[in-house]
């Protein structure tokens, strides 16, 4: 019988503890950087006012939240590794002791007998260590999940899409009587979508937006000209005046939303991609340094209106409308070549639309425990609710328009065949037939109506 009757668990508890200590030190250092960061932000904002200062404060608040999330993760990693290192150390010590007991016996026969008598203890030690390893793994995975809710840029695409789908399900199936603000603010993964959008991965691709801009412009033109008369006739078919009014308002809203998406596309091409945050800052610089610079980058009047959108936002803080505008643009015209990728980007775009409003809600509500005051920023609860409603409506409308964008586009190319009477006679342009028409533009209104219902009452899902 050899001296090592039982296999000593592999691993180096001393090194593990040193690594755990490094994580603890890094967490402490990171907390120190957060303190410095907060101090400098307060310094910067002490006498600084205006839209850039407000935007700066919001982004700084998001960065502070990221600091805290990393500190929390580092602390958790330290704890998990330290606990496992102790378990490993104990197991190695116990197995070593058992081996020494076996080795102390004279002769192979006695050693074998001793080993058999101790095998139960060895088995228990090994089992305990395996359990400690699984517990450590679970603690680490929990730390990573928690980190991802605050820093979604750490998630894989698949993880992010799944998180968004979960959130979408909660939005579509709210518990009866759920308070809208509670419902939305409870979607912590969606709240953090802004951070993802601000990362390099979530940026608006300027070239892609440029390629697709022409299609969005055609869609806008169609909504304002060819489709609008048809919509009016369609609305006139309704007998309920309340329904008529609701659909009319919805149709007008869709037109306005598409107009905004056109302008967002123009802005994206002007900003030339990069990270969303870079684009946001670039756009801000353009506004400060050369008012109307967007207009200079485009010959259309839409760019000037974009300036107005950014400057006169109803939610007062520039960050939110920018995020919403770009979010809805990506929702309608997602980047990517494969279906799966498009779906993921589409969902991400929708979340981006939500993220702008919800970032404000997060900030103003202090939901993430950021306690320092922001001079010059005063966001009211009503404004936040309005932003959330706007985002919800945009998502719904964009979703419907996206689904039928190709039919819209194909239909426009054959606009000569598009007459109200012709469609009506063909039996395709009827309320009952909309669902089953299955070709050309005839499908679109029914689905837009579905989206419009959300527009009219976006929280009544």
Partner 1 sequence: MGLVGADVAHLKAAAAAMAPIASTVTGQATAIRSAGSLAAGAAGDAGLGGTITKVAAAVSTATTDTGTVVGNLKNAVEVSAANVATASGTK
Q: Which residues bind partner 1 (CB under 8 A)?
A: 9-16, 18-20, 22-23, 26, 29-30, 33, 36-37, 40-41, 43-44, 46-50, 52-53, 55-56, 59-60, 62-63, 66-67, 69-70, 73-74, 77, 81, 84, 88, 133, 136-137, 140-141, 143-144, 147-148, 150-151, 153-154, 198-200, 275, 277-278, 281, 284-285, 288-289
Alpha helices for 104-205 (secondary structure H): 108-150, 157-172, 180-185, 188-191, 193-198
Using CA atoms, how far apart are residues 319 and 365, in angstroms rounded to an integer?
17
In angstroms, give the least distance from the CB of 146 to partner 1. Answer: 10
In angstroms, give the least distance from the CB of 16 to partner 1. Answer: 5
In angstroms, give the least distance from the CB of 47 to partner 1. Answer: 5
- What does the DSSP 8-state code read for residue 371? -
Residue of 259, 230, 251, 189 lying closest to 428 (CA atoms):
230
For partner 1, which is the closer residue by CB, 129 or 171? 129
Residue of 302, 103, 109 lying closest to 216 (CA atoms):
302
Angle at 324 between CA 159 and CA 256, to 5 degrees: 135
Cβ atoms 329, 268 nearer than 8 A: yes
Q: Report helix angle 276-289 to 51-103, nearest 10.
A: 160
CA distances from 408 to 149, 227, 414, 439 (A): 37, 10, 10, 10
In angstroms, give the least distance from the CB of 98 to partner 1. Answer: 18
* Phi, psi (degrees; rounded to nearest 5) at 192: -85, 0
In angstroms, give the least distance from the CB of 48 to partner 1. Answer: 6
For partner 1, which is the closer residue by CB, 36 or 435? 36
Contacts of 232 (CB under 8 A, 6+ apart): 248
In angstroms, give the least distance from the CB of 199 to partner 1. Answer: 6
For partner 1, which is the closer residue by CB, 148 or 441? 148
For partner 1, which is the closer residue by CB, 49 or 435? 49
In angstroms, give the least distance from the CB of 155 to partner 1. Answer: 8
For partner 1, which is the closer residue by CB, 156 or 299? 156
For partner 1, which is the closer residue by CB, 33 or 123? 33
CB contact burial 193-220 (16+ within 10 A = b; e otherwise)? bbbbbbbeebbbbbebbbebbebbbebb
Q: Report helix angle 241-271 to 206-224, nearest 10.
A: 150
Q: How many residues does the chain have?
A: 461
Residue of 310, 238, 236, 250 lying closest to 279 (CA atoms):
310
In angstroms, give the least distance from the CB of 265 to partner 1. Answer: 23
Radius of gyration over alpha carbons of the chain, in Å?
A: 30
For partner 1, which is the closer residue by CB, 135 or 343? 135
For partner 1, which is the closer residue by CB, 12 or 243? 12
For partner 1, which is the closer residue by CB, 319 or 400? 319
For partner 1, which is the closer residue by CB, 53 or 367? 53
In angstroms, give the least distance from the CB of 269 to partner 1. Answer: 21
Using CA atoms, how far apart are residues 60 and 252, in angstroms rounded to an integer?
37
Using CA atoms, how far apart are residues 433 and 446, in angstroms rounded to an integer?
9
Instruction: Answer left, alpha or beta for residue 440, where phi above 0 means left and psi between -120 and 50 means alpha.
Output: left
In angstroms, give the least distance from the CB of 149 to partner 1. Answer: 11
For partner 1, which is the closer residue by CB, 146 or 447? 146
In angstroms, give the least distance from the CB of 224 to partner 1. Answer: 37
**Residue 84 burial (CB count, 10 A):** 24
């Amino acid at each position: 019988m050899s001296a090592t009757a039982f296999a000593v668990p592999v691993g180096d508890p001393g090194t593990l503890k040193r690594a755990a200590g490094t994580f603890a030190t890094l967490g402490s250092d990171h907390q120190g950087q957060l303190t410095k960061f907060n101090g400098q932000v307060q310094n910067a904002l002490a006498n600084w006012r205006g839209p850039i200062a407000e935007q700066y404060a919001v982004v700084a608040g998001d960065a502070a939240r990221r600091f805290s999330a990393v500190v929390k993760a580092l602390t958790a990693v330290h704890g998990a590794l330290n606990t496992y290192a102790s378990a490993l150390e104990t197991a190695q010590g116990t197995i070593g002791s058992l081996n020494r007991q076996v080795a102390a016996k004279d002769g192979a026969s006695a050693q074998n007998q001793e080993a058999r008598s101790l095998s139960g203890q060895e088995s228990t030690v090994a089992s305990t260590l395996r359990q400690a390893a699984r517990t450590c793994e679970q603690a680490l995975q929990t730390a990573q999940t928690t980190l991802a809710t605050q820093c979604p840029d750490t998630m894989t695409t698949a993880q992010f899409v799944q998180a968004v789908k979960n959130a979408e399900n909660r939005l579509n199936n709210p518990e009866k009587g759920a308070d809208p603000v509670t419902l939305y603010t409870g979607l912590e993964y969606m709240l953090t979508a802004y951070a993802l959008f601000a990362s390099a991965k979530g940026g608006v691709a300027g070239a892609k937006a440029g390629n697709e801009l022409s299609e969005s412009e055609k869609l806008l033109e169609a909504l304002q000209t060819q489709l609008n008369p048809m919509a009016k006739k369609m609305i006139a078919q309704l007998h309920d005046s309340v329904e008529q009014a609701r659909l009319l308002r919805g149709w007008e809203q869709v037109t306005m939303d598409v107009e905004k998406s056109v302008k967002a596309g123009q802005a994206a091409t002007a900003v030339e991609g990069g990270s969303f945050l870079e684009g946001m800052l670039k756009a801000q610089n353009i506004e400060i340094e050369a008012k109307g610079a967007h207009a200079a980058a485009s010959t259309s009047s839409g760019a000037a209106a974009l300036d107005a959108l950014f400057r006169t936002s109803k939610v007062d803080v520039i960050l939110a409308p920018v995020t919403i505008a770009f979010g809805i643009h990506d929702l309608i015209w997602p980047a990517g070549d494969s279906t799966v990728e498009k779906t993921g980007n589409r969902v991400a775009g929708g979340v981006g639309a939500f993220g702008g409003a919800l970032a404000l809600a997060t900030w103003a509500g202090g939901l993430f425990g950021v306690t320092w005051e922001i001079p010059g920023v005063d966001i009211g609860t009503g404004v936040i609710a309005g932003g959330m409603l706007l985002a919800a409506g945009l998502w719904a409308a964009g979703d419907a328009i996206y689904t039928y964008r190709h039919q819209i586009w194909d239909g426009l190319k054959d606009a000569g065949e598009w007459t109200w009477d012709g469609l009506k006679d063909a039996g395709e342009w009827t309320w009952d037939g909309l669902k089953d028409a299955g070709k050309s533009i005839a499908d679109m209104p029914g689905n837009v109506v579905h989206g419009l219902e959300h527009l009219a009452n976006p929280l009544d899902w």
